[in-house]
Amino acid sequence: MPKATRTAKQLQQMLIQRIEAQPGLRGRQTDVYRDGVIGVPSEDGGPNWTVRVITDRGNHRGDIAQIIRRLQGQYDLKA
C-alpha cells in the first residue's frame, strides 16, 4: 500500500511539532530547523526523504531520530 505524500515544508512542520512536544526540546535548534527535509533515492521501498545532518554527530539525539523514522514510515516526499 503506498504511503501518503507530503511536501518537504509539510514534513518539516510535522517534525517540528513532534520535536517541540518532547520535554526539554521546545525552541532547541536542530538540523530539522536548520536544513529541513531533503529528498533521497529510495532503496527497496525505504524512505525517499531525510533530514541532512549538519551538526556534530556527537550531538545526535535518539529521540529526534526516532521521530524522523516514524514519519518516514508514514509519509513519502511529494515529488
Residue appearing with cell numbers 518539516: 12
pLDDT tens digits, residue range 14-48?
Answer: 999 999 998 887 877 788 888 889 999 998 888 99
CB atoms within 10 A of CB 10: 14
How high is the pLDDT of residue 41? Answer: 93
DSSP-derived letter for residue 78 is P
Grid cell for residue 72: 518516514
CB 42 within 8 A of CB 48: yes
The predicted model scores a pTM of 0.86
Over 80: is that where the pLDDT of 8 sits?
yes
Taking the C-alpha atoms of residue 76 and residue 63, their distance in angstroms, rounded to an integer, is: 21
Which comes out higher in pLDDT, residue 52 or 77? 77
Over 90: is that where the pLDDT of 4 sits?
yes
